Structure 1
Amino acid sequence: MLLQKNKTVLSDYNEAIQHEWLETNGLGGWSGSSVIGCNTRRYHSLLMAATVPPAERMNLISKLDETIIINNERFELGTNNYGDTIAPQGYQYLSSFKKEIFPEWIHEVNGVEVKKTIAMVHGENTTVIIYEVVKAAKTFTLELLPLLAVRGYHSMMHANNDAHWDVLFNNNVFKTKVYESTPEIFIKVPDAKYEHHPNWFYNFNYSIEQYRGLDFVEDLFNHGKFLVELKQGDTLGIILTTEDPSGKNAIELLLKEKQRREGLLEQPFSSTVEQILTLAADQFIVKRTIPKVSLTGGI
């Protein structure tokens, strides 16, 4: 029951951006992008929250670009299309992508091998990202740069002076509210150091929007970056959410979600294709809140 792309596909930018992954939360929210992490649609997002399930959605966290730092040498794992250039070109460090229960990536750079898993938690506007250090000769630093859109999912964000730069970072939890009318955003990064350098990042190009003849250039906002020291055998679990994640553990959330999905496969299936379709169908089931109707017909 395995969907997989090898390094030959992943190292070919024009081929790789045509393949996408998707996670959903049963509320109308989702997480998804191309398999190399380069957003090609306005609907690509790490945390697309269903703010009023299931109809109203907001692209809160567009992406999280990673950098591995070894002996002060930087290896950027992200990939972005700026129109006249693709930078960084982190897809070159991808050795594999696969999806069985969850989408998983293997990054290999300068003797370091890191496995990344992304999942959405059913019934929550929550995305978890798990990094497992498979191989590393020595300790290295993982730098994480969250890029925020904070907009309606049909809209596009452009640099403005209304974004709030203030954040709180206590007990490994980052908290911000970018605009008065938008949800709070929480990012939990265990054992991280946070550096506050708020700035706009300009001119992200979305090739599929351009092909459709629509507005295809967006600016994204960043408050700062997280830095975590890692070594071989370490596992780092990150939570992106609209609710306070204090007391929650990303690895436990992933395990719970894995058990829920495996439960869908307990019945006998005649083929692997049926299992794949069952999990795929689960991604598109959304819980709706049905309004109560009074005897007089009012709501």
Structure 2
Amino acid sequence: MRFGKGEWRSFERGIEKEWLVTNGLGGYASSTLIGVNTRKYHGLLVASLTPPVRRYLFLAKLDERLETPRRIYNLATNHTGGGVTEFGFIHLQQVLFNPFPTFIYSFGDITLQKQVFMIYGENSTVILYRLINGAEPAILRLVPLVNCRNFHWTVRRGQIDFRKEEIPYGVAVKSIPQCPVLRLVCSEGQFNSRDDWFYDMFYLVEQKRGLDAREDHFIPGDFTISLKPGEIRDITFLATLEDIFTLDGRALQGAEMKRLQELVKRSGCRGILARHLVRAADSFIVHRQSTGGKSIIAGYHWFNDWGRDAMIALPGLTLVTRRYDDARDILLTYSRYCKDGLLPNVFADNGREALYNTVDASLWFFWAAWKYLQYTRDHTFGRKVLYPVLRDIAHHYIKGTHFNIGVDADGLLAAGSPDLQLTWMDAKVDQWVVTPRHGKAVEINALWYNALCILRKLAALYGDTFPYQELVEKHERNFVREFWYEDGGYFYDVIGEDGKDASLRPNQVIALSLPFTAVDAERGRRAMTRVWQELYATYGLRTLSPGDPRYRGVYGGDRWQRDGAYHQGTVWSWLIGPFVTAWRRVHHYSPASRLQAARFLAPFRDQLRDHGVGYISEIFDGNEPVIPRGCIAQAWGVAEVLRAYVEDVLEIRPQI
């Protein structure tokens, strides 16, 4: 992907797009296209100290200045409480993603190219420069802005005591006791020690979110590199927490390029969209130190790994991409933590027990396990590891488990209470459950029926008895009868003590997309027509019909305003996956439905160039022009767009 000056004609336009590179540990480097940090989450080295969590900002920025006998060119762009104070983006000529973000500056007769990437498996960021000097001698000055704080926080001068020590090629900076030493080293030039501060950096996005938006950064000194007239110089700058490192930037770049190219080649995916998404998928598959295995981080910048998100995203991130060992490792990790039939909603750290407040993570585990067996035919793992866990989940759900999860007399699954949020629509502000869905939710019951059918299939395959046939038949009799809303031509969202909730929401689409469903094609087509008419919004589905008085069409403001809109109209990208799959199914996989599926997914090629470049955004406004919001890179958004494209457009669908 290539971007030119039209993308940053003004400062405001230049901050609309953000870039992100990751390291497989939960750490990352990220900023805007023009290099100004607009979030407290931005930085060149955000390291995960207990992968994939305990993320700390160590290097906020690295600002460049080029000094010649005639002129000083300041390439930095910064925003403080007083406004935009440095305008270096005016010298930015191009930004390329190939696949790493590469920034090309042109000023006078000088060209500077800057590329940013991370070393896989290390808390290290490489900034690789190529400087083509003009007709005069010049000095390149690199100014690091250092910090050491949890990436959710902001700090001011005086809150952290920084200590430094000069080392070969640069400086080591030490701060709070619980954090390792930051090493800043450069392959060329010299380090000039001085203590200074960058005051009052202003984070515009945090201000809009109603959060603290100002921060100071420590400057331990600067690096200077002298250049002769006409000289071309490659310079490697490294910010690392590792004890052992190399300053051969080209070799490091080549190794990471090769790794990504091999991932794309292994996937066998065709087309520009698929290849981009295969690379994007890699950013979410991370090592989890507490379990010793792989996990899936839900989104960047601020999410950890969540059970529900991991199970929904697993097929698209690991199976479509043929990363079968990673898929197996993730399933093994979560299966080991299954407790009383529940998968963790989120892993806790610092020795605390995982949180299990979710009804659907365990049910999505059935889906992920079934897809794994479809793709790999690894029935040794299925029989020994997956099947006992699936059987245990079904047993606990039927007898009843925590959070009022249990099967009712009609065979339908109920869960929750007014003060609990157990489904994926889980926004809660203090004691306010924004979208209460306790009782019998439509997608939960569809997932429950799907789970029983998968268990029945595996029991037959593995020579075991299946004791729940009567329950399956009862569910088949009652699901459509209870959930179908004939006057509306779609499915009720929740059946509760107060009656049936006729809110038009996208959860019914999940019921139509699962491998096993109790819904007939005719009702499915009618429901999909209503969903398309009222909920479809280019990059996903609205979470509530615009005709509903509770609808909120713009996601923004403080926490109360944002969470109040999160599932009350906001568009979610991941829902396009089940929507496309359901569309193909209810239209019997006709050629026309395949063409329409391709049309549904085509806009995501453009979305890759917006918000988080190379990724799929988490959410969008429900109102046009559906502006991207939330996380710039979301695991299940990337996963479901990729899965639906491969399975439902390319029609590459494995069978068990």
Query: Do both proteins adopt the same fold according to a TM-score greater than 0.5, normalized to the shorter chain?
Result: yes
Give the aligned partner of residue 59 of structure 2.
61
Q: Which contiguous aligned blocks of 4+ residues in structure 1 show a shift greater than 6 angstroms?
A: none
Conserved in 1, the CA contact under 8 Å of 2:23 and 2:121?
Answer: yes
Matches within 5 A, 1:143-182: 143-160=141-158, 162-170=160-168, 172-182=169-179
Q: Deviations over 1:7-62 (max 9, x none)?
A: 12224210010110000000000000001110000100100000111111100000
Q: Deviations over 1:232-257 (max 9, x none)?
A: 32111111100134544222111111
Amino acid paired to 1:114? L
Conserved in 1, the CA contact under 8 Å of 2:115 and 2:129?
Answer: yes
Give the aligned partner of residue 139 of structure 1.
137
Inter-partner Cα distance in structure 2 for 1:86 and 1:169 = 34
Secondary structure of the structure 1 residue equivalent to 2:41: coil
Give the aligned partner of residue 262 of structure 1.
261
Give the number of aligned pairs.
292
Matches within 5 A, 1:2-17: 3-17=1-15
Q: Deviations over 1:207-266 (max 9, x none)?
A: 000000100001111111110113532111111100134544222111111111111121
Find the partner of 2:186 among 171, 185, 189.
189
Determine what percentage of the aligned residue pairs are the same residue: 30
Secondary structure of the structure 1 residue equivalent to 2:288: coil
- Does structure 1 residue 116 correspond to structure 2 residue 121? no
**C-alpha RMSD over aligned residues:** 1.9
Secondary structure of the structure 1 residue equivalent to 2:218: strand
Inter-partner Cα distance in structure 2 for 1:129 and 1:291 = 32
Inter-partner Cα distance in structure 2 for 1:53 and 1:35 = 27
- Pair 1:191–1:17, CA change in 2 (3 A): same
Secondary structure of the structure 1 residue equivalent to 2:156: coil
Inter-partner Cα distance in structure 1 for 2:288 and 2:263 = 20
Q: Which has the higher contact order (CA 8 A, sep 6+)?
A: 1
Inter-partner Cα distance in structure 2 for 1:11 and 1:67 = 21
Amino acid paired to 2:279? L
Structure with greater proportional helix content: 2
Inter-partner Cα distance in structure 2 for 1:270 and 1:291 = 34
Q: Which runs of 5+ in 1 are unaligned?
A: none
Inter-partner Cα distance in structure 1 for 2:28 and 2:114 = 18
Find the partner of 2:209 among 212, 216, 227.
212
Give the aligned partner of residue 278 of structure 1.
278
| 1:136 to partner: Cα distance | 2.5
- Pair 1:246–1:27, CA change in 2 (3 A): closer
Inter-partner Cα distance in structure 1 for 2:171 and 2:9 = 34
Q: Deviations over 1:148-170 (max 9, x none)?
A: 12100111011106413432232
Inter-partner Cα distance in structure 1 for 2:94 and 2:87 = 15
Inter-partner Cα distance in structure 1 for 2:34 and 2:246 = 32
Inter-partner Cα distance in structure 1 for 2:137 and 2:259 = 35
Inter-partner Cα distance in structure 2 for 1:129 and 1:25 = 14
Secondary structure of the structure 2 residue equivalent to 1:265: helix
Conserved in 2, the CA contact under 8 Å of 1:50 and 1:56?
Answer: yes
Inter-partner Cα distance in structure 2 for 1:123 and 1:162 = 28
Amino acid paired to 1:239? L
| 1:188 to partner: Cα distance | 1.4
- Pair 1:72–1:224, CA change in 2 (3 A): farther
Q: Deviations over 1:118-138 (max 9, x none)?
A: 001110001001111245223
Q: Which runs of 5+ in 2 are unaligned?
A: 293-335, 337-350, 354-656
- Pair 1:111–1:19, CA change in 2 (3 A): same
TM-score (norm 2): 0.43
Give the aligned partner of residue 243 of structure 2.
244
Structure with greater proportional strand content: 1
Give the aligned partner of residue 233 of structure 1.
232
Conserved in 2, the CA contact under 8 Å of 1:10 and 1:96?
Answer: no
Inter-partner Cα distance in structure 2 for 1:178 and 1:167 = 12
Inter-partner Cα distance in structure 1 for 2:113 and 2:54 = 33
Inter-partner Cα distance in structure 1 for 2:251 and 2:262 = 17
